Amino acid sequence: MPLTLLFGVHAHQPVGNFPAVIDTAHARCYGMFLRVMERYPEFRFSVHFSGWLLDYLLTHFPADMTRLAAMTRRGQVEWFGSGDCEPVLAAIPQRDRVTQITTLTEKIERHFGVRPTGAWLTERVWESSVVPALSATGIRYVAVDDYHFLCAGVDGEKLDSFYTTEEDGLRLDLFPIAEAARYRLPFSPAADAVGWLEELARQGRRAAIYFDDIEKFGIWPETYDWVYVKGWLTQFVEGVLASPLIRTATFADYHAREKTRGIVYLPTTSYIEMNEWTLPAPRAAEYRTLLDAEKAAGRFETDKPFLRGGIWRNFMSRYPEANWMHKRMLEVSQRLARLPAARRTPQMQENLHRAQANDAYWHGLFGGLYLPHLRRAVWHNLLTLEAALERLHPSPALECRDLDDDGHDELLLRSQALLAIIRVDGDAALAEFSSLALAHNFGDTLRQHAEIYHAKVGAGETAALAGKNGIASAHERIAFLHPITAADAEPDRRPRGSGLDNWLTTDGARLALDAYRPDGPPGHFVARGEGWRVEKCYALHDDVLEIAYRFIGAECPGRLETQLNLALPSCDGYGGRYVLADGRIPCGFGQVLELPALTQLTLEDSELGATSNGALRLSVPPVAGSAAPTLVARPHHTVSQSEAGFEKVMQAICLTLTWPAMTGDWHRLMLKVVTAS
């Protein structure tokens, strides 16, 4: 009996990605793939397009979407559903899982005339808690990795068909995606891939199950030339169709005609590479050493189900910045859920869905969390929704609670225009500084984290493994998009907030002021030493945040240094620039700016604000008998990897103000958010 090839592709672009990137992806991958497959109506396959990407393609490339609709009508293509904006379903509330899945299902039905019965799980993150939402929305089966089944003790020889699981009596069937197929297609020669499938048929396997990123067919390095110019996809499709040992089918057809292999309960996991990415760098290095030792000893394939690392949710533990976004998202989701149904709007739901897009919450092989424009899209949608909710039910002007579950309270200061959130810890720095009018978080930056791949810096560049037949997977490449040294990847010792303070002693030492304690009215903090204290006070005045300092005592001569890390959307692009008090423009955000005396500086950004121009203005009111602080502004970069290689990404502007010998008066720094229609 022929082997059934269940071939599925998953197409996704992050919410907030640049239009030029999506256009290129379509030119090099999505459109090319569909035009090749259109020529072979007997090659049946399944597709999943995330909803945000699908909206873009329907608007900008209607001819190719019409082509896909025709392929759907003739039965060649099966549609898989999922969460509309590609959330990790396990990381969002049950109510939002249902609305996310339903939104995409209805979108597919509206444009392509079918309701999906299968679903793609974002990053193949499996937790049994997602079963009720999938079942409630008409999903009957999903595809996860064969690794999930191996971790449950299932015999690898029996991973050639679907199994059944349940949660609270609700049934869902599970297809095991073959890791061997993921690493062969499209990286090995087409004839070899077809030959491998034929060998599976000779072994009596029922099905070969493949479901992976379509971006591997044209967007990943080297793949456009390999897949289309050199004809890999055409050769593979024709080779499969010509083989008497292989037939193609959609998952839906196969599921309808076959019986389950039996019951299975999978552990919480994702694909095997994710197990390493979720671990902190030192533990990830130990995990990698363990895996390498097992491979060298020839035990890896047997033992890998028992060599599990972390789980996807560990990214919230690894990266405080991801955790902060996640807990803020959960908060606005809860606020929306409490709103009477009659007062909710489709736009509110859309903003929430977009704020739940997975990409900005984690980091592995690709940029993800390290890409400012992806985080900015989450914050834009989150704050747009929050502004709408505030108009209906204003929040208290002052709150104090542990919002992100890290063991430290946060002080929330609100005006009609601004939200300033201060961590009540030793640094007493801003965790968030958001403008509701601009739907922008000026505190949305990222510290330099230690990453296991930083050990590759200096290892040189190679396009492929020596002796490899075919092309290299992105997992195997070491390339550099920018010159990078080990110093560039040095981890930050403190968070990248605003209001991070140091005391500069007369002998040149820099002492971290990281022992602030609440003292007096809300927003007032004090750091003490022998015979001295530094007082620090936050206050909101409509569209102005004031940070004030006062030094009391004479036993600690020196100067106060204050660091502000501010996120502007243009980063080092053309749209961001400094404007001096006299109107001169000395440079852009990507350059270093030094001022001997700061009185006023405006940070203008043409990308700030969807419906209005925005800017952030810093000013220092004069203090009698005291000089203005000096300023050094420089870009803050992090080093990360992507499928194309290592790169330096600008995260924020780092402004360092050094105050002169301070008197007992209050020294004020004013940050005014400027919005002009």
Out of 38, 55, 106, 123, the active site residue is 123
C-alpha 638/C-alpha 491 separation (Å) is 9
Q: Write out the two tokens for 281.
A: 């760098």
What angle (nearest 5°) sits at the alpha carbon of residue 143, between those of residues 6 and 50? 100
Q: Choose among 571, 556, 561: nearest CA to 536.
A: 561
Q: Give 263's DSSP letter.
A: B
Burial 276-310 (b: 16+ CB within 10 A, else e): bbbbbbeebeebeeebeebeeeeeeeeebbeeebb
C-alpha 180/C-alpha 205 separation (Å) is 14
Length of the chain, please?
A: 677
Q: Write out the two tokens for 418.
A: 């601004």
Task: Report the DSSP beta bridge partners of residue 510.
Answer: 504
Q: Are 545 and 433 in contact (CB under 8 A)?
A: yes
What angle (nearest 5°) sits at the alpha carbon of residue 158, between those of residues 152 and 264? 35
What angle (nearest 5°) sits at the alpha carbon of residue 305, between those of residues 135 and 199? 85
Residues contacting 466, CB < 8 A, separation 6+:
none
> Active site includes 301?
no
Residues contacting 341, CB < 8 A, separation 6+:
none
The label of the residue with tokens 């803020």 reads 328
> Active site includes 213?
yes
The label of the residue with tokens 């502000």 reads 564
Burial 462-484 (b: 16+ CB within 10 A, else e): eebeeeeebbbbbeebbbbeeeb
C-alpha 289/C-alpha 388 separation (Å) is 50
C-alpha 221/C-alpha 226 separation (Å) is 10
Cis upstream peptide for 176 (omega within 30°):
no
**CA-derived radius of gyration, the chain:** 27
Out of 55, 213, 258, 409, the active site residue is 213
C-alpha 513/C-alpha 507 separation (Å) is 17
C-alpha 400/C-alpha 386 separation (Å) is 18
Residues contacting 655, CB < 8 A, separation 6+:
563, 564, 565, 566, 618, 631, 632, 633
C-alpha 613/C-alpha 674 separation (Å) is 8
C-alpha 139/C-alpha 49 separation (Å) is 16
User: Which residues are part of the catalytic machinery?
Assistant: 123, 213
